[in-house]
Amino acid sequence: MIANVTKKITNRFPYRTEDVIHGIKHPHSIVSEINQQYNHWRAGQPYNPNGIDVFEEDWDNLIILDACRYDEFVRCSDLPGETESRISRGSTSPEFVRGNFGGKQLHDLVYVTANDWYAKTKDDIDAEVHALDFTDRDLMNGRTSHPETVSDAAREAAETYPNKRLMVHYMQPHWPYLGPTGDKFRQGPFHEVMRTTDATHTDVMQAYRENLDIVLEEVESLLDDLQGKTVVSADHGELLGDRERPIPIKTYRHPEGVYVDGLVKVPWHTYESGERKTIVAEKPVDDEEIDIESVEEHLKDLGYRV
């Protein structure tokens, strides 16, 4: 009897002991979790149902900036081309991956990515691409990938697979911050730094914009090396002191299931170079070996619960 009751409670309470301890130490995170659960319940599915399916859009190459807000992209970008906006299917990377890749056999797609979530979830969501290039985490003791590393991998993929759609996923402007102001945020997890040091809202904004400038410079160098129609977008945005909903707490991050403009309104910047590609779907090549334990440790380092 007691065992059955315990099992029912455990099934309804999907949190680990460390999650509970974290919530006790940081009550703000409990309120954020309530917001997330409410919004998922209201949406009725594990991603934003009002977002676009990126694979139904018209492009030859899709460049994804991680955690890039539409308003900050417009403020910082001077890329050639035209900028519009779209609504993303996720306020986090796992939602973006679930909402766009889930149940799809994308045999016309080559995915170059510095983001771990596709590698972590592809089997669970029944997703497959023609080829996956999971770039090295070669910066800040393995916490992130240098934008140049991603660009080099994208150029190689474009040359190797000229008749495939190419998706290129940079990790910036997502924390960790690479610019000079980012030094303030390298002493530990982001929220611990904000809580225990003199880092200010102004510091966060400056560090975020420096990260965005760094990756945009790299994207600009890549554009003319990609044939056809290229779109620059984002998997989700970032709350930079904005408020969540329905409980309006002030937040610096991108909580799951919170579909406010700062998180789901993303850039959709179009640039064309040369003739359009002739896209051909073909049998997938063998996946590279991925160390899932390493992937999970990296996600934990970035503050995700895995």
Q: Residue 294: left if φ>0, alpha if ψ -120 to 50, beta else—which one?
A: alpha
Q: How confident is the model at residue 8 (pLDDT cuts 50, 70, 90)?
A: very low
Of 56 and 21, which is predicted with more confidence?
56
Q: Which residues pair with 111 in a beta bridge?
A: 132, 167
Can you tell me the mean pLDDT for 10-23? 54
Number of Cβ within 10 Å of residue 44's Cβ equals 7
Q: What is the pLDDT of residue 25?
A: 59
pLDDT in tens, 139-150: 877 778 999 999
The closest of 84, 86, 125, 85 to 104, measured between CA atoms, is 125
**Tokens 């334990």 belong to residue:** 293
Of 41 and 83, which is predicted with more confidence?
83
Q: Which residues pair with 228 in a beta bridge?
A: 273
Mean residue pLDDT of the chain comes to: 86
**Tokens 């008749």 belong to residue:** 163
pLDDT at residue 284 is higher than 70: yes
What DSSP element (H or E) covers 191?
helix 190-196
DSSP three-state, residue 17: helix
Spatial neighbors of 196 by CB under 8 A, at least 6 apart, are 188
Domain locations along the chain? 47-301
* Domain spanning 47-301: CATH 3.30.450: no
Q: What is the pLDDT of residue 36?
A: 64
pLDDT in tens, 221-278: 999 999 999 999 999 999 998 776 676 767 778 888 889 999 999 999 999 999 999 9
Q: What is the pLDDT of residue 53?
A: 99
Tell me how far apart the 2 most distant CA atoms of the chain are, in Å.
70
Q: Which residues pair with 134 in a beta bridge?
A: 113
Q: What is the pLDDT of residue 295?
A: 61
DSSP assignment of 206-247 equals HHHHHHHHHHHHHHHHHHTTS-EEEEEEES---EEEEE-SSS
Can you tell me the mean pLDDT for 20-42? 62
